[in-house]
Amino acid sequence: MYAIFAQAFPTQVRATGTGFAIGIGRGGSVLGPITAGFLFERGYTLPTVALYMAMGSLCAAGVLARLRLKPDVSLPGVKQPAWLKS
């Protein structure tokens, strides 16, 4: 994820953007077990809770799949891979 952050955020806000994204991830790691506990308390079964918990990861995978990163062409002597050429 750090490599994606380096390409996704402009240089001026890269540290702030990376820190914000990491903070959101840590917030999710705090809220995940609490949410699972509430779902179990309400009588949901393990497969249902697992499905609900997987929704966040599935959404993130969908966002990453749609993300279009521009290759860094500022490095002299580094050739762009053929699969990145469009």
With vertex at residue 79, the alpha carbon angle to CA 9 and CA 4, rounded to the nearest 5 degrees, is: 20
Q: Which of 82, 58, 57 is nearest to 71 (CA)?
A: 82
Digitized pLDDT (tens) for each residue of the chain, 86 residues in all = 788 887 778 888 889 989 998 999 899 899 999 999 999 999 999 999 999 999 988 998 898 888 776 665 555 666 666 666 65
With 0-12 / 13-18 / 19 or more C-beta atoms within 10 angstroms meaning exposed / middle / buried, residue 35 is middle
Contact 1, 60 (CB under 8 A): no
Identity of the residue numbered 69: L
pTM above 0.75, yes or no: no
